[in-house]
Structure formats: C-alpha cells, structure tokens
Amino acid sequence: MIEAWTILLVACDSAIRLSVPLIFACLAGLYSERAGVVDIGLEGKLLVGAFAAGATAAVIPNPWIGLAAAIGTSVVFALIHGFASISQRGNQIVSGVALNVLASGLTAVLGNAWFDQGGRTPQLPASARFNEITLPLAETAAGVPVIGTFYADIISGHSVPVYLAFILVPITAFALYQTRWGLRLRAVGENPAAVDTAGVSVARLRYQAVIVAGILCGMGGAYLAIAQSAGFINDMTAGKGFIALAALIFAKWRPWAALGACLLFGLMDATALRIQGASFPGIGQVPVQAIQALPYIFTVVLLAGFIGRATPPKASGIPYVKDRT
C-alpha cells in the first residue's frame, strides 16, 4: 500500500512538472482564439521564449532577467502574428506556420553563432535558474501519512513558474467570465460586428489577446530552459505547442477543462518516461521510440473522435473587415 502510494506520488509529481509548459501554451491559445485569432504559432513562441531565456541567463545569471527576455521575445513574435492576421487580415494559419519555421531556424542559427555549441546555450549554474521552493511546514508534514506526504511531495518542492502556471488558471477563468474585458474578448471571438457596433475596437481587443498569449508563451519557454532544464537545446519544445493546441480543443476552449487536459497529457508524458526500458508480459521490451511516441499517438486518437463535438468561437480565424458588415 505504501509502495503504491509512493508510485502514485512520483507519477503525479512528474505529471505536474511536464504539464507546466502545456498549461502556459494552452492558456495562451485560449486567450488568442477566444478573441478570434487562431494561433498555430504557439510552438514557435514557446521555442523563442526558451532560447531567449537560456541565452540571457547564460550571459546574465539571473532567472528573472531570463524570464523577462523570454516574455519580450515571445511578445515580439505575437505582435508579428497580430500584425499579419489583424492589421493585414492575412491567413492566420499561414502566419502561425511561418512563425514556427522562423523560430526553429532562428534559434538554431543564433545559438550556434553566439555560443558555438551546436545550437545549445551553455550549462546554466543554479543561480541562473528557478530552483525548487520548499513551502512552510513541508518537512514537518512529510511524516504525516497521505495528507502530509501529498503536501510535501506534490504541492511543495516546485519552482516559481509551476505555481504561476496553476495560479493563472483561476485568474483566466475570472478574467474571461467575471470581467467586462473578458466579456468583450469572448464577444469579439463570436460576433465582432456586434462589438464594433457597441463602439469597442475589435482590433485593439484582438491585439490585447495576442499580447497576453505572447506573455504566457514566454513564461512557458522560460520554464523549459531555466527551470525544468539547465539551458536551451535545439527544438527543446518537441511539439509541446501543438499538444497544447490539441489540449485546448479537447477542453473546448474552457480554462478549467484546459488545466485537466494539460494534466492528462502531462501524465501520459510522465508514464511514457517511466515505462521506457520496461519489459511487458507477452510483449517484451518495447522500443524507446514507440514509448516516446505515445503522447503524440494519444493526441491524435483524442482529436480523431473521442472528444465529441468541439465548436470553436464562431469568428475564430476570420479577419474582421468592417466595410463588409
């Protein structure tokens, strides 16, 4: 019983840590798409955020400066997407894909040119990273069965970005459903003409949404490079932006459901890591590549029909042209 509880705690702890970049990116997509701007470029913004955080922290060993650099770089990418899709009324899918390609190439070239380590940034010291925080009374509670160990092993012992990610979920739910700004943001994703008729700028609201998305993606990228890892490596996001997009659809564009979906994907990722090298009765040892592909296979299976009908905001992906209304 104790061994099973320990295994469950370890699995939950790993799932939480692996779900954090997904939560940041999923919330970013939620803001953007609720405002009617499809954001395929979550992957690219996560990647440039991770690179900016890793590169900055390697030069100035301060995690907060690294986080600021990640947010700034990701917001620049978000504004490019906003300019293409809102001001120029371009194809939002094409713009997002272009940002992903640009991010992949730019981080590899700049990383190799600046640090000459094959695209990596140097290994970061502890002072340049977000380290784990022990919450009050965690060590004392560790001796108490079930509740104490849950507090000590699951709630305590994470870095600042982990707590930020989970705090941002209720903040997002409150902002979207309990504030005037959130009401207008959701309205502009459903019926921008009605919002425009009420005298509210559709473009300004959509720009605000993509900027928030950029900030959140920057946080997610910074977590990858200077909290979960000790530096940036090429393509370290490994499709997390796309998985976050799948989680957003799975959650049907709702914040609390998005948290659940991200934790589910994080648990799948953690399970894939735990069973690598394990031997199964009647099957034997499964190749590592097949285990690593499990989260992506799971994503495809979910999107293929297990989520029921997922209806996006009505104006999602449609540029608003005032003259035609």
101-142 per-position pLDDT tens digit: 999 999 999 999 999 888 889 999 998 999 988 888 888 887
Helix (H, G, I), strand (E, B) or coil at 280: strand
150-154, 220-224, 273-277, 287-291, range with greatest mean pLDDT:
220-224
Contact 226, 137 (CB under 8 A): no
Assess whether pLDDT exceeds 80 at residue 310.
no
Indicate the pLDDT class of residue 295, thresholds 50, 70 and 90. Answer: confident
In the prediction, which pLDDT does 303 show? 67
Banded model confidence at residue 75, pLDDT cuts 50, 70, 90 = very high
Which two three-digit tokens encode residue 275? Answer: 């069973």
The whole-number average pLDDT for the span 260-280 is: 80
Predicted local distance difference test score (pLDDT) of residue 307: 61
Nearest-angstrom CA–CA distance, 42 and 190: 22
Letter string b/e over residues 273-282, b meaning 16 or more CB atoms within 10 A of that residue's CB: eeeeeeeeee
| 7, pLDDT greater than 80 | no
Residues pairing with 284 in the sheet: 280
Whole-structure pTM value: 0.92
Domain ranges for the chain:
19-129+137-250
| pLDDT-derived band at 12, boundaries 50, 70, 90 | confident
Q: What is the pLDDT of residues 78-88, one digit of tens each?
A: 999 999 999 99
Q: What percent of the chain has pLDDT over 90?
A: 58
Least confident span in 95-109, 131-145, 293-307? 293-307
Q: With a cut of 60, say whether residue 311 has pLDDT above it.
A: yes
**Closest by Cα among 121, 110, 24 to 74:** 24
pLDDT of residue 275: 73
Cα(247)–Cα(302) distance, integer angstroms: 9
DSSP assignment of 153-206 equals IIISSB-HHHHHHHHHHHHHHHHHHHSHHHHHHHHHHH-HHHHHHTT--HHHHH
As beta bridge partners, residue 158 has 133
pLDDT at 65: 96
pLDDT of residue 187: 94
| Predicted local distance difference test score (pLDDT) of residue 44 | 95
CA distances from 56 to 24, 121, 135, 232 (A): 20, 9, 28, 10
CA 48 to each of CA 43, 71, 261: distance values in angstroms, whole numbers, following the listed order = 9, 9, 24
The C-alpha atoms of residue 234 and residue 112 are separated, in whole angstroms, by 10
Render pLDDT for 212-253 as a digit per residue (tens, 0 to 9): 999 999 999 999 999 999 999 998 998 899 999 988 988 889
Q: Give the C-alpha separation, 8 to 314, whole Å.
A: 41
What pLDDT does 138 receive? 80
What's the average model confidence in pLDDT over 295-302? Answer: 74
